[in-house]
């Protein structure tokens, strides 16, 4: 996959073509059958995954909920900047092609392209903030219930 193809992933869309090419050089391909586990809840995070083809079901045992992601989706973005346990389980729902940007690869990219790495992190933070606002709007965070009970 080249830099032009990577533009379809919203986290990479704002990067310049040459910067996306530099990201492309750091990506690893995974080709998986349906029912393959990408990672389990509680495993250490290693990096950002992009769904290039197929589907991935992401679910949380704690929340008892899940969603299905398709081509163009990204998951695990925060793990580029912070290590820690995965909060969800991710499993392919069909034959899938996944691109992986490992934290070590992101650091190489950041050393070579610091402004582009900053823009990628800004896109990740914007996306995370949007998801947080959506969760708050639907009262999906336990903290929201605690705040309501304190009023």
pLDDT tens per residue, range 27-66: 999 999 999 999 999 999 989 999 999 999 999 887 777 8
Domains in the chain (CATH in brackets) are 3-150 (2.60.120.10)
- Cα dihedral 19, 24, 27, 32 sign: positive
- Cα dihedral 113, 116, 118, 123 sign: negative
pLDDT tens per residue, range 69-99: 999 999 999 889 888 888 899 999 999 999 9
Q: Is the pTM of this model over 0.95?
A: no
């Amino acid at each position: 996959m080249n830099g032009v193809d990577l533009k379809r992933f919203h986290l990479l869309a704002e990067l310049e073509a040459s910067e996306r090419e530099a990201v492309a050089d750091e990506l690893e391909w995974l080709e998986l059958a349906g029912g393959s586990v990408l990672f389990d809840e509680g495993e250490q995070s290693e990096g950002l995954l992009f769904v290039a083809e197929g589907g991935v079901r992401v679910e949380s045992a704690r929340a008892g909920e899940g969603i299905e992601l398709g081509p163009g989706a990204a998951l695990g973005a925060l793990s580029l900047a912070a290590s820690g346990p995965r909060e969800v389980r991710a499993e392919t729902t069909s034959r899938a092609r996944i691109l992986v940007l490992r934290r070590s690869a992101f650091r190489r990219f950041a050393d070579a392209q610091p402004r582009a790495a900053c823009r990628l992190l800004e896109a990740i933070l914007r996306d995370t903030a949007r998801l947080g606002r959506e969760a708050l709007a639907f009262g999906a965070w336990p903290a929201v219930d605690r705040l309501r009970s304190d009023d």
